[in-house]
Amino acid sequence: MRKYTSRESSMIKNLKKEKPHICYYCRKFITNEEELTVDHKTPLSRGGLTVPDNLVIACKDCNLEKDSMTEDEYYVYLEVKKELGNYNFIIITKINNLLKEQEKILDMYRDLHEEKRLLNYKKMKVLKMITTEHFNAARGYMLARELQNYSLKLIRLDEELIHETSMEELAKYNIMQLNTQKREIFKKLIEAYKNKDEKFKILLKKAM
């Protein structure tokens, strides 16, 4: 995450000076300095800005729980959490966290595939130069070095990409399994809460 500019830092500092300190989300009085945080209603990671409209005082617990959710998403999350009770909610949260981890692994592989695609493109470009250009020895040497460089990098990348049991395949499999589990829990919850209104079902779906 990028650092704040001095203007943004002083904006955050000033907000922390304003009293009384009441958490914007749970309305708790914050008496302990350690509990006092400033939250971005729309997180920086979601395109939020460090501007007065987007900054609120929040207790540490709420801030941690809200994580990268927007304000609206967090309210949905809280509403569903209340309705489902702790037990079901913890299970859903755990599955979602596991899913996030697996998605991160897939992202890493996506980056590696993209790197490979780029390297192959560069390699083909050099190969084309070698076969179509007229060049002197110095340029020829340079092109050969470049070609060797790309080839070595590609070999290393392939080694990373092809394991005996590919982490990527495993992550895909885990995601499939976790999503199946989620669907099953969702079905059970819908059955258990069948007397609830449509709004609840929509919230539940959002939280899942």
CB of 57 to Zn ion, least distance (A): 9
- Cα–Cα distance between 140 and 37 in angstroms, integer? 60
Place of tokens 């885990």: 174
CB of 100 to Zn ion, least distance (A): 23
Binding part of the chain for Zn ion, among 9-17, 58-66, 92-100, 197-205 by CB under 5 A, reads 58-66
Given 9, 13, 14, 26, the residue binding Zn ion (CB under 5 A)? 26
Using rule CB under 5 A, residue 59 touches Zn ion? yes
Given 25, 74, 77, 150, the residue binding Zn ion (CB under 5 A)? 25
- Cα–Cα distance between 186 and 92 in angstroms, integer? 9
For the chain, the distance separating the N- and C-terminal CA atoms, rounded to the nearest angstrom, is 27
Nearest to 144 by CA among 156, 154, 131: 131
Comparison of 30 and 189: residue with beta carbon closer to Zn ion: 30
Using rule CB under 5 A, residue 62 touches Zn ion? yes
DSSP letter at 53? Answer: G
Using rule CB under 5 A, residue 23 touches Zn ion? yes
The site for Zn ion, by CB under 5 A, has a size of 6
CB of 82 to Zn ion, least distance (A): 15
Comparison of 28 and 201: residue with beta carbon closer to Zn ion: 28
What are the residues whose beta carbons fall under 8 Å from the beta carbon of 83, sequence distance 6 or more?
Answer: 193, 196, 200, 203, 204
CB of 22 to Zn ion, least distance (A): 9
Give the CA diameter of the chain: 81
Using rule CB under 5 A, residue 56 touches Zn ion? no
